Structure 1
Amino acid sequence: MKTRLLLLAILFPALVSAAPMKLADYMALNGPAPAARIAYGAAPSQYVELFVPHGAGPFPVAVLVHGGCWTEKFGGIIQLRSMAGALLERGIAVWNVEYRRVDEPGGGYPGMYQDMHAALDTLAAQAGDNRLDLDRVVAVGHSAGGQLVQWIAGRARIPATSPLHRTAMLPVRAVVSLGGLADLRHERELIKASCGRDTPELAGQPSPARPDVYLDTNAAELIPNGSHTILVTGELDTISPPRVAHDYAARARAAGDSAEVVILPGASHYDEVAASSPSWPLVAAAIERALARTVHADLLKGAASPAVR
């Protein structure tokens, strides 16, 4: 690990020359206005922001899901416009998702997860009119949003008895988790210490029909699911330390999925989402690498099909 960090410092000296970003720096982030705001429900927080590059398309899509400790207090969708603008410049469309958090009516369990379903259903419905390529989709989430995008990848494994179960959905197999807090069971003490969130807020209360609340909410319970996850974490992240990324990657690999870890030298929890941060080249490279895997997977699928010559 030390050798890898040293190599990154040599290749990207700016990564270790700037002071790590703080919460106030994160809260000040912003970016270009979206091309459209699209509602996927009636609640004020049930909408997405759409950003589309210039050109004919169809364009690959980054589904952005903000963090903020699952609460309204720490912003979210506006701050991710920083990434959205930078991804636009790379020819990537952005589906920037707002959702009901635990301190909003209908948020928490099951509403927060139902919002993810609805946002992705709306993406599938809107793709043709907006030149979006549904074969090239990567879900990118920060902190609490990392938990949600890692959960998205495993939606097909949700038990049929759960209110979150779906029989048809847009598959998302490429995930970039930026300082994600995805393992609700194993990291519940860290989540409490970092965000002040208790399990019932994020996973609901147990019931006779649902005695284990983690089975339909915890990304680590929904593997293997055929996904590739890139876990990106700042070296100095204290909200979701590098150990969390390594632990989840090991668990995913042991289950049969693929995962990799990228540690951002000298970076905090907030550098992970800022296009203005020296860490951005490594974050952008992870997103583009994840999208490239979707192309490769699609080519393999086509090669295996007798209908393709």
Structure 2
Amino acid sequence: MLTVADYLAQPAVPPDARIPYGNDPSQFGDLYLPDPSYPAPVIVMIHGGCWQAAYDLAPLGECCAALRAAGYAVWSLEYRRLGNGGGWPQTFHDVAAGVDHLRVLAGTYPLNLARVIAVGHSAGGQLGLWLAARPKLPATSALTTPDPLPIHGVVALAAVANLAQGVTATACGAACAELVAHDPRRYAEASPHLLVPLGVPHYHLIGSDDSIVPAAYVAAFVAAARQAGDTAHLTILPRCGHFELTTPHSAAWPAVVGAIREMG
């Protein structure tokens, strides 16, 4: 199984452009562009790391480049995290603003905004699922933003989708509570588990040997989403841990690309 050290050691692959979507140093995205002759479907890539400032988007560069080679435009988002100004509500505001900034980018780059797929790993999976659900947030929510860009679907890679249960069931532990500033009432607006049905298809991939986000935890979320009426798919990959899902040369990678292809 790949370790955290293996994940952090993945080679950096520079984007075609690094573009700010706000004024904070962490409010930017890396844009990877395929053949520019036609508007490409867009993947919004959201990295994990338990929402902690110690982990950034750099280890996903090779993953983003592989998806670019597969014909997708990839908008890999950085955002404020716990320890550098993130948490409630800043982390949520950042990923929302980053996604909505695609409307601006489409004025310069050939992007098909009718086919925007969120792909998130671990804590980033929670944010990707939340992006799909944010149009249903109440107007009074501190997380609500006007006119959210629609998400066509979500591919969640070992997603921390149930924040309350994640405190004890995942290696992110107390960070799940810190994300909502230790106010359990906020789970209703932040935790995908309490926001189903999301209203878009979502595909979940999890390693059978993942010790950070257990397969049973992900399976329970998928069952709840289906019960709520969502189209939710689950793939448990044998002999796979947490970080193989973001590694293009791993045995798990074809399943990740296959799930994205299923979105169109």
* Pair 1:83 & 2:63 matched: yes
Out of 248, 253, 260, the residue aligned to residue 226 of structure 2 is 253
Q: In 2 relative to 1, CA 200–185 (structure 1 residues): closer, same or farther, beyond 3 Å? A: closer
Alignment of 1:141-290 (within 5 A): 141-191=120-170, 194-206=171-183, 212-290=185-263
Q: Give 2:49's aligned residue.
A: 68
Q: Distance in 1 between matches of 2:238 and 2:38?
A: 35
- Distance in 2, matches of 1:139 and 1:117, equals 12
Indicate which of 79, 98, 104 corresponds to 1:99. 79
- Bigger mean CA deviation after superposition, 89-98 or 279-288: 279-288
In the TM superposition, residue 166 of structure 1 has moved relative to its aligned partner by 2.5
TM-score (norm 2): 0.95
Query: Aligned equivalents of 2:124 and 2:251: distance in 1?
Result: 22
- The residue type paired with residue 253 of structure 2 is W
Match of 1:27 in 2: 8
Give the corresponding residue for 2:34: 53
State the alpha-carbon separation in 1 of the partners of residues 117 and 241 from structure 2: 23
1:42 aligns with 2:13: no
Length-normalised TM-score, structure 1: 0.82
List, as ranges, runs of 4+ consecutive aligned residues in structure 1 with deviation greater than 6 Å. none
Report the CA distance between 1:205 and its aligned residue.
Answer: 4.6
Deviation readout 1:147-170 (Å, 9 max, x if unpaired): 100111100111221111123110
2:95 aligned residue: 116
Q: Kindly provide the amino acid, as one letter, of the partner of residue 92 in structure 1.
A: Y
Secondary structure at 2:190 match in 1: coil
Distance of 2:50 and 2:182 partners within structure 1: 19
On the 8 A contact 1:181/1:240 being kept in 2, the answer is yes
Paired with 1:244 and 1:278, the residues of 2 have a C-alpha distance of: 22
1:189 positional shift? 1.4
- 1:127 and 2:106 equivalent? yes
Q: Identify unmatched segments of 5+ residues in structure 1.
A: 1-19, 293-309
Question: Match for 1:164: what amino acid?
Answer: L
Q: Which structure has the bigger radius of gyration? A: 1
Distance 2:11 2:46 in 1: 15
**Equivalent residue of 2:168, what SS?**
helix
* Contact 2:12 2:62 (C-alpha < 8 Å) held by counterparts: yes
Deviation readout 1:68-89 (Å, 9 max, x if unpaired): 111122x331111111111111
Check the 8 A contact 1:53/1:89 in 2, yes or no: yes
